[in-house]
Structure 1
Amino acid sequence: MTEDMILNLISTNVVWLLIAILGIIIIFRGVKIVPQSEQYVVERFGKLHKVLGPGINLIVPFLDVVRHKISILERQLPNASQDAITRDNVLLQVETSVFYRILYPEKTVYRIREVDGAIATTVAGIVRAEIGKMDLDEVQSNRTQLITTIKSLVENAVDDWGIEVTRAEILDVNLDQATRAAMLQQLNAERARRAQVTEAEGHKRAVELQADAELYAAEQAAKARRIEADAEAYATGVVAAAIAANGLEAAQYQVALKQVEALNTLGNSPSSNTILVPAHALEAFGNAFNMLKGRS
């Protein structure tokens, strides 16, 4: 093999090698594999050309350049703390947290330089403005509504940046020392007032129960007296009916019966060894015994 043939062979191999290298470079620069969590912003001659989504994408080598690789995952801004003054002139320190994700990378890249700092500044301004419209009690009791309002306003403010605010949170609301001491004093006074009200209500209930008990006792006593009166009236009616049916003899019989019962009771008394009976009483007892004997 001559020297010229060797040189030609080497030249041919070099050319093919260069062609192969150029092909590899073209393939490497023309084929772009985009991860699922990212989007690529492509420029052509320094101008936005297109946005590459996840997967295999083809671009024109040497003309198209991937200028920005943007993550589309949800992001969390560092917790931020800013001062705010309520409508009733109370100084608060509000700690906030914001979550967002990029929907349109071309807007985020070409319309805002530092997106995290821009969102943080926007949130701080909106928080101060909204808290300035509310009293302290409203801030404490309507935190959910306040968060919803802040999220909506932030979304409107960052809409031109191709960003979606997924969540906004108010993590803490701190008071200055003087306001905190005043609120603690007010809370203690409220607790004392509630304790006094509870004690007064308990005393009132006790009085009411006592009055109900006395009323019930009076009602029961009245019922007992009414029953006793009804019994006496019934007995009187029975006696009157017997007198009306049997005449005076029935009445004398009842009187004699009572006299004998009284004498019997007196005689059975343990402290009575001797019984003194008037003379006219003996005659009455005799008549009673004769009447009882006649009855039997």
Structure 2
Amino acid sequence: MFELIGLVLVVLAIFVIVGLVTGNLFYVVKQQHAVIIERLGKFHKIVGAGFHVKIPFVDRKAATVSLRTMKNGFNIDVKTEDNVTIGLEVSAQYHVSYERGATPQESGVYKSYYMLQQPVAQMRDFITDALRSSIPVYTLDEVFAKKDDIAKDVNATVSEQMDAYGFTLVSTLITKIALPAEVEDSMNQINAAQRTKAAAQDLAEADRIRRVTEAQAEAEAMEKAGEGIANQRKAIAAGIKESLETIQETGVGNAEANQLFMFTQWTEMMSDFAKTGKASTVVLPSDFSQTAGMFEQMVAASSAGRDAGEPPAPTAER
């Protein structure tokens, strides 16, 4: 009996010594990692971060699974509704599911290791299939306008598929849309033409506003000028009336008063004409007595004007 116990102790001591020498007895799991332990080739348990012990040559670390969020980028070619082939740069953020499940076999760590051999390649296929199913219903312009909505729809679809394999798809982003060179040139030309058209319309509208403003200002100026002329003529007429009334108060008759007023106006006109200096010659009667004939001609011209419909010269009547 003692010999059997001693033999067991010797065997255990050998295992410990070999384990210590080979480093196959103790192990440490880092933070945000999980280790799958297999015993004699069969799943045994999942251990988390910390210090652990395993049986040398019986237990082995089958895999160390990272629980941190990872990122992968994919280049995918798709065709739009208007038959334009575009290249999409897609970025996917994902991590092993944190779900533990009722049993270890239902946990995300177990599924991610035992159910899917190439998770990144499988995720790429799912994303490619989802994009090639959704993009063809949009035109090129709609893809640019709705790329965020498209990415959300793809993320929802692929998340459900990857969840069965123990992965959680955090987000799917369309980071770039690459166009064929000829399509990009055509779009640039269209945008340039639209901007030129908009600029021409703006210039035309500005010119129209300027013309309307100038016309309104000119109309207002003419209106004010007309009011000024009318007021001036009223003032002149009032002055003439007052002058004639003053002359008539001296006993001069209407005809003589009108002739005297016309002579006074004529002399003032000739004085102003001489002061302007714009003419060097003025023809006058040689005999001052002939000015009476000039008065008669002016009166005759005034009468002819009244006969033709012109307003009569203002006179003062008692």
Compute the TM-score of the two structures, normalised by the length of structure 2. Answer: 0.66
1:10-89, aligned counterparts within 5 Å? 20-24=13-17, 31-44=26-39, 46-58=41-53, 64-77=59-72, 79-89=73-83
Which of 142, 161, 164 is 1:160 aligned to? 164
- 1:281 aligned onto 2:291: yes
* Other-structure match for 2:234: 233
Give me the whole-angstrom Cα distance separating, in 2, the residues matched to 1:254 and 1:119: 112
Partner SS for 2:164: helix
- 1:118 aligned onto 2:113: no
Give me the whole-angstrom Cα distance separating, in 1, the residues matched to 2:266 and 2:80: 99
Quote the offset at 1:275 in angstroms: 6.7
Partner SS for 1:173: strand
Give me the whole-angstrom Cα distance separating, in 1, the residues matched to 2:43 and 2:50: 20
Quote the offset at 1:145 in angstroms: 1.9
- 1:224 aligned onto 2:219: no
Q: CA RMSD in A?
A: 4.1
When residues 135 and 16 of structure 1 are mapped into structure 2, their CA distance, relative to the original with a 3 A threshold, is same
Say whether the 8 Å CA contact 1:267–1:275 is kept in structure 2. Answer: no
Partner SS for 1:36: coil
Say whether the 8 Å CA contact 1:266–1:272 is kept in structure 2. Answer: no
Give me the whole-angstrom Cα distance separating, in 1, the residues matched to 2:246 and 2:90: 106
* Other-structure match for 2:87: 93
Give me the whole-angstrom Cα distance separating, in 2, the residues matched to 1:135 and 1:172: 16
Partner SS for 1:113: coil
Quote the offset at 1:110 in angstroms: 2.1
* Structure 2 residue identity aligned to 1:76: K
Give me the whole-angstrom Cα distance separating, in 2, the residues matched to 1:44 and 1:231: 121
Query: Please, which moves more after superposition, 144-153 or 19-28?
Result: 19-28
* 5+ residue gaps, structure 2: 1-6, 98-107, 296-318
Give me the whole-angstrom Cα distance separating, in 1, the residues matched to 2:78 and 2:84: 8
- 1:169 aligned onto 2:163: no
Give me the whole-angstrom Cα distance separating, in 1, the residues matched to 2:145 and 2:31: 42
Compute the TM-score of the two structures, normalised by the length of structure 1. Answer: 0.70
* Other-structure match for 2:4: none
Quote the offset at 1:127 in angstroms: 1.8
User: Percent of counterpart pairs with the same letter?
Assistant: 18
Say whether the 8 Å CA contact 2:15–2:56 is kept in structure 1. Answer: no
Give me the whole-angstrom Cα distance separating, in 2, the residues matched to 1:200 and 1:266: 54
Q: How many residues align?
A: 269
When residues 29 and 264 of structure 1 are mapped into structure 2, their CA distance, relative to the original with a 3 A threshold, is closer
Give me the whole-angstrom Cα distance separating, in 1, the residues matched to 2:195 and 2:93: 43
* Other-structure match for 2:150: 146
* Structure 2 residue identity aligned to 1:237: A
Partner SS for 1:165: strand
Render the CA deviation track for 1:188-243: whole Å, top value 9, x for unaligned: 25533542453354245424423432442243133223212212212312432454
Render the CA deviation track for 1:64-122: whole Å, top value 9, x for unaligned: 54322222333333x43333232333333333332322233112122222222222222
Say whether the 8 Å CA contact 1:101–1:164 is kept in structure 2. Answer: yes
Give me the whole-angstrom Cα distance separating, in 2, the residues matched to 1:32 and 1:158: 31
* Structure 2 residue identity aligned to 1:96: V
Query: Please, which moves more after superposition, 16-25 or 232-241?
Result: 16-25
Give me the whole-angstrom Cα distance separating, in 2, the residues matched to 1:206 and 1:161: 68
* Other-structure match for 2:298: none
When residues 62 and 192 of structure 1 are mapped into structure 2, their CA distance, relative to the original with a 3 A threshold, is closer
1:182-193, aligned counterparts within 5 Å? 184-185=185-186, 187-189=188-190, 191-192=192-193
Query: Please, which moves more after superposition, 44-53 or 103-112?
Result: 44-53
